[in-house]
Amino acid sequence: MPITYVIDRLHQRMLTHASGLITFRDINGHLDQEERERGLDLPELVDARGATTDLTSEQLRHIVQRLMRLMRTIPLGPTAIVANDDTLFGMARMYSLLVEHDGISVDVFRDIDSASQWLESHV
């Protein structure tokens, strides 16, 4: 499975790991799981180092629309994404720009330490 996660209820965090090729279907499946396990409101650290994506900008817009609908009923926690693949980094950056004016805090990083510090400052 390309996206796995652990919900750390003690620290109120979601730790997510993405590997291999991450598709539109994978991301939607991850959101389905987060919704079922009531983790959407938790701060999330996504370690996607080593992952790639074939996500299109149109698919990304569908994900953003889905999150906007979810946000009507569930507050969404801040998300820090760590990526070293240029395409994945770029798509994650586009995602962060598309959601920032709607009150969703997302940022993209090249290293875990910077991402963790940012996430700490948004809790």
Smallest Cα–Cα separation from 81: which of 37, 52, 116? Answer: 116
Task: Provide the residue type at 119 as one letter.
Answer: L
Please report, for the domain that includes residue 110, its CATH number: 3.30.750.24
Rg of the Cα trace of the chain?
13
Stretch 5-20: mean pLDDT? 93
Domain count, the chain: 1
Confidence of residue 54 (pLDDT cuts 50, 70, 90): very high
pLDDT tier, 6 (very low <50, low <70, confident <90, very high otherwise): very high
Reported pTM:
0.94
Give the per-residue pLDDT at 95: 95
Domain extent, residue 24, equals: 3-121
Question: Does the pLDDT of residue 15 top 90, yes or no?
Answer: yes
pLDDT band at 41 (very low <50, low <70, confident <90, very high): very high
* 65 Ramachandran zone, left/alpha/beta (phi>0; psi -120 to 50): alpha
What percentage of the chain reaches a pLDDT higher than 90?
85
pLDDT of residue 1: 64
Q: Helices 57-71 and 24-36 meet at what angle, rounded to 10?
A: 10
pLDDT digits (tens, 9 = 90+) for 62-71: 999 999 999 8
- pLDDT value at residue 64: 94
Query: What average pLDDT does the segment 66-92 reach?
Result: 94
Residue (of 10, 23, 120, 123) closest to 75 by Cα position:
123
Higher local confidence (pLDDT), 11 or 109: 109
Cα separation, 30 vs 121, in Å, equals 25
